[in-house]
Structures are given as C-alpha cells and as structure tokens.
Amino acid sequence: MDALPATMQRAAYDRRGPVPQDVIRCETLPLPVPGEGQLLVALEAASINPSDVLTLTGQYGMLPPLPAVGGNEGVGRVVALGPGVTAPAVGARVLLPVGCGTWASHHVVPAASAIVLPPVGDPLQLAMVTVNPPTAALLLSEIVPLREGGWVIQNAANSGVGEYVIQLAKARGVRTVNVVRRAEAVAPLEALGGDVVLVDGPDLAARVAAATGKAKIALGLDAVGGMATDRLAQCLAPGGTVVNYGALSGEPCLVVPGQLIFRGVQLKGFWLAQWFRTTTPAQQQALYGELVREIAAGRLHARVHATFPLAQVAEAVACAAQGGRDGKVLLVP
C-alpha cells in the first residue's frame, strides 16, 4: 500500500437550506488514527442519492443532527488496522456503514462490523449497492405476489431504482411497463430490457392497455407523487396496489376516490429504513449477499452520469439535484 496522507477531506454542512449545493462544503482535517478494534478505510466511491439531496434541504424523513457529513452509502479499501485487529486485511474492499457520512476520503469504522466485498468488480457500481438495489428488489417481492409472466408498471423508470427494477424483474421473468417524463429516456430503457417504455401523459392508461394487450397489472411503483400516482392507479387491475417510495414532483400522492372505492385499488408506502427496522440481520445479509454477487459479476448495474472529486462536492450536488440526467452522480477521491 502507498504511504498514508497526513490529511483527509470530508463534505460537511452545519445548516440546511432550499439550495442544497449552497450548504455543503469540502473541508480538510488531519488524518484520523484507528483505535483498538478499528479500521481506517480510504474511500473508493460514494453515491449521491435523492435522499441525500433532500437531507441537505431538510425535506427527508430522517435528518441527522447538525453539524453533519453528507452521504449514506459507499465503498472503500482498508488502509490501516488499529491495535488488536487482524481482519479484514489491509487492501480489503469493504462496504461503508450505512449513514456514516460517506462523503469523506477516509473513515474509521469498527472492524467487527465491517462487511467485506469481492475484490473484483467496478467500485462505482458497488458503491451504489446499499440503497437503490435493495429498494428495487423489495418493491418486487414484498408488496404483492408477482408470478412469472406477470406485469408491473413503474414511473421514474429511468431513475436508479427504476433501472434496477427492470433488470431484477427480467431475471425473475416479470415484464415491466416503464413510464418516463421525457422522450429521450425511452431508448436507453428499451436497450436495458424494458418490455414497454412510454412517456407519461393523461392518456397513459389507454396506451398501457394497448401495449400490454389489456394485461391485468397488479403492482404500480410510484416515485413521483402528484397526479402521476393516479395515472398509475388507472393502469392497474381492480384490487391492484400502488406503492409510493418517493416524491420527485414534490407533491403529495393524489388518487381519485373512485379508484379506491369502486376499483379497490390500494395505496401503500415503502421506506427501506423501515424494512431494516423490522427484519433480522440474517434476512438483510441474504439480500445484500445476492445483490453484491450480481453487481460484482456485472449482471446488475446502473448508469453513471458523472463523477466528481470531493473538492467539487457543491458542483456534484448541484448536478445530482437537477433533472435530465442519464445516470447517477458519484464522489470519488
């Protein structure tokens, strides 16, 4: 391993505000020394998710106390061991603890809780394993039973979660209707394996019926809110379920009462943090083990729009907060 630097960088904030890039800054600190039972981990890559942006604006459902360091997921390499630590070895790739403030060049983490990842595989892809892939997998498995050959419809299909849904559903033999908000997003999702890709609009239900042969769709995945939620509800079979897991429109979910009363459509919510609170470590490890294997082997992936060094974290956050991207924004050393 190379000699350790004398300093480290981290992206910190001590206030929240409506313009997320205005509250985050990169600062330099002395490099920490791992203590008894600890590892020093150097960052390989950390993602910027919509939840990270909403945390900076104060709109997310769970906010860390201030001051704080941004970021909830990432991967790194072990560069030093504290006293009494023999494993993981220096050079091992590990998953950074969820919510530890991953937008930093170095982290001191407990050795006993370190999750070792395969040494092979794209670090950018592995850095995105904590949030979006399990969300996609659980949306397909925890809400309603989906049989092989069945259909699921989703909006924001070109988001990180949306692209994982397409790949995971295809691997399970489930067909997808993928709704996007701009025409240029159609072709990439068709190339990814989306069975039907449509631009959202007031006549969405009619176009979905025509494209699927009036298939009985039991599940709709909503990341947008507003009237987009109702448009998904219109596409479902009677008794179907819309599950909301995001609010990209910034508006509350709206469903016309007739969908709920006369057609029996249900509206539910999903939050990955809540799933963690109600499941066992064994269940969590089983899910992540499967996802990590698929990502490391290159069978599960997400598009990357851009990478930024930590010194340009404000520019990175501004990029992640804007619409029209064609992939995820990540921070790298």
Residues taking part in catalysis = 60
Nearest to residue 140, comparing CAs of 160, 163, 168, 159? 168
Q: Distances from the Cα of 203 to the Cαs of 154, 206, 233, 236, 309, in angstroms?
A: 16, 6, 13, 14, 43
Q: Distances from the Cα of 170 to the Cαs of 162, 173, 185, 293, in angstroms?
A: 12, 5, 19, 17
Q: 101: which 2 tokens?
A: 């403030």
Longest dimension (CA), the chain: 68
The answer to whether 47 touches 104, Cβ cutoff 8 Å, is no
Q: 127: which 2 tokens?
A: 């850095």
3-state SS class at 54? helix
Q: Is the peptide bond prior to 202 cis by the omega test (within 30 degrees of 0)? A: no
Residue 36, Cα to own-chain centre: how many angstroms? 33
DSSP 250-314: SS-B---HHHHHTS--EEEE--HHHHHHHS-HHHHHHHHHHHHHHHHTTSS---EEEEEEGGGHH
Report d(CA 316, CA 205) in Å as an integer: 37
List CB contacts of 108: < 8 A, sequence separation 6 or more.
Answer: 32, 34, 35, 38, 39, 40, 41
Chain position carrying tokens 């890039």: 21
Amino acid at 135: T
Report d(CA 232, CA 252) in Å as an integer: 14
